[in-house]
């Protein structure tokens, strides 16, 4: 119980860093013809990366930051580039730093699209990031998040005129993750399945299928530009480095468990292995101990994952 409470506290501190910051929120980067990344400035209110794709008759937005204010700022940046309507918003997963600005785009008539599991988790599972007994204002915020209007199970194709945007369900980070692919620009929006030189949040993760997902992305898109969920715009090399982090984490933990280590002894042993290579990555101090503890629980079958939503949620 104490471990789960500590996890919630650490993640609350992580998210609240963005909820209460005053620095600039994000930087727009053009990464292809009509394709843009919105890269969060760490310490800003965006909380995660987002982006958008412009076609001949509309726009697809990928993720909406953590709050409506930076989401409206993103909409203003889109309006500087095109007057085409925002037709769709794709939420790559349920975490509030990727869905908190949905309202800003719903207000202008965008259809919000996500994997069907997201709809059942967005207003429930996000509460855990605020501790065992969330304050009323945080409970209200989470329970007021705007849900998807449209859900899918495995794959959906969107067309902006002749421009194809592919949305694909892939396993690893939460069990409800979408990857958004723009084939004609060779751009992949990975959401939190891709972290560029940052340690990930593994609270909902299944790391073995996550590695398989990253292998598939690297195999299918060897020269693509990847928009990460956190960090900068990524190359295939960055994705490979991140994939290798997850693999190394699993291997180091399994090795320590095989010698009988557990608890703090296991955490200290594995961190000593990880720090020389990954100690300078973003969020290292935030997440390294949690990465070890959560993956150790996963490997022994003791990790709690979000329950599958009921039909119709």
Query: Could you write out the DSSP letters of every residue in the chain?
Result: -HHHHHHHHHHHHHHHHHHT--B--EEEEEEETTEEEEEEPTTBS--S-EEEEE-SS-EEEE---SSHHHHHHHHHHHHHH--S-EEEEE-SSS-HHHHTTHHHHHTTTPEEEEEHHHHHHTTTGGGGGG-SS--HHHHHHHHTPPPPSEEESSEEEEEETTEEEEEEEE-SSSSSEEEEEEGGGTEEEEEEEEESSBPPP-TT--HHHHHHHHHHHHHH-TT-EEEEEESS-B-HHHHHHHHHHHHHHHHHHHHHHHTT--HHHHHHHHHHHHHHHHTTSBTHHHHHHHHHHHHHHHHTT----PPPPPTT-
Residue 91 pLDDT exceeds 50: yes
Amino acid 43: pLDDT: 86
Residue 274 pLDDT exceeds 60: yes
Structural domains in the chain?
A: 2-299 (3.60.15.10)
Amino acid 226: pLDDT: 99
Amino acid 1: pLDDT: 37
Residue 245 pLDDT exceeds 50: yes
244-258 b/e with 16+ CB inside 10 Å = b?
ebbbebbebbeebee
Amino acid 12: pLDDT: 47
Lowest mean per-residue pLDDT among 10-19, 90-99, 164-173, 301-310: 10-19
pLDDT level of residue 84 (50, 70, 90 thresholds):
very high
In the predicted model, what is the mean pLDDT of the chain? 93
Which residue has better confidence, 1 or 193? 193
Amino acid 5: pLDDT: 43
Residue 252 pLDDT exceeds 50: yes
- Pairing of the two strands 225-230 and 187-195: parallel
Lowest mean per-residue pLDDT among 9-23, 116-130, 231-245, 285-299: 9-23
Residue 215 pLDDT exceeds 50: yes
Average pLDDT over residues 281-287: 97
Amino acid 312: pLDDT: 64
Residue 86 pLDDT exceeds 50: yes
Average pLDDT over residues 201-217: 98
Amino acid 18: pLDDT: 42
Q: How far apart are CA 17 and CA 65, in angstroms?
A: 13
Amino acid 22: pLDDT: 45
Give the global pTM.
Answer: 0.92
Q: 109 forms bridges with which residues in the sheet?
A: none
Amino acid 24: pLDDT: 74
Average pLDDT over residues 101-118: 98
pLDDT tens digit string along 30-58?
A: 999 999 999 999 889 999 999 999 999 99
Lowest mean per-residue pLDDT among 5-19, 112-126, 261-275: 5-19
Residue 9 pLDDT exceeds 90: no
Lowest mean per-residue pLDDT among 12-16, 91-95, 190-194, 231-235: 12-16
Average pLDDT over residues 186-215: 98
pLDDT level of residue 64 (50, 70, 90 thresholds):
very high
């Amino acid at each position: 119980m104490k471990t789960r409470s500590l996890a919630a506290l650490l993640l609350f501190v992580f998210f609240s860093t963005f909820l209460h910051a005053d620095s600039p929120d994000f930087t727009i980067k053009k990464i292809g013809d009509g394709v843009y990344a919105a890269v969060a400035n760490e310490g800003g209110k965006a909380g995660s990366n987002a982006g958008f794709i412009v076609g001949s008759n509309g726009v697809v937005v990928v993720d909406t930051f953590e709050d409506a204010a930076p989401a409206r700022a993103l909409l203003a940046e889109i309006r500087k580039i095109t007057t085409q309507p925002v037709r769709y918003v794709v939420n790559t997963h349920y975490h509030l730093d990727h869905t908190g600005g949905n309202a800003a785009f719903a207000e202008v008539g965008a259809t919000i699209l996500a994997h069907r599991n997201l709809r059942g988790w967005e207003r429930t599972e996000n509460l855990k990031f605020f501790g065992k007994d969330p304050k009323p204002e945080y409970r209200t915020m989470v329970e007021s998040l705007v849900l998807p209007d449209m859900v899918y199970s495995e794959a959906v194709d969107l067309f902006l005129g002749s421009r194809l945007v592919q949305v694909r369900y892939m396993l690893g980070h939460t069990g409800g993750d979408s990857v958004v692919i723009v084939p004609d620009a060779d751009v992949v929006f990975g959401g939190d399945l891709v972290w560029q030189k940052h340690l990930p949040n593994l609270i909902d993760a299944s790391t073995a299928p996550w590695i398989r997902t990253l292998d598939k992305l690297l195999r299918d898109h060897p020269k693509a530009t990847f928009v990460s969920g956190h960090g900068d715009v990524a190359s295939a090399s960055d994705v490979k480095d991140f994939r290798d982090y997850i693999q190394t984490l699993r291997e180091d933990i399994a090795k320590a468990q095989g010698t009988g280590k557990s608890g703090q002894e296991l955490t200290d042993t594995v961190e000593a292995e990880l720090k020389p290579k990954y100690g300078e990555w973003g969020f290292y101090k935030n997440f390294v101990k949690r990465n070890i503890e959560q993956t150790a629980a996963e490997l022994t079958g003791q990790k709690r994952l979000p329950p599958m939503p009921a039909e119709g949620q």
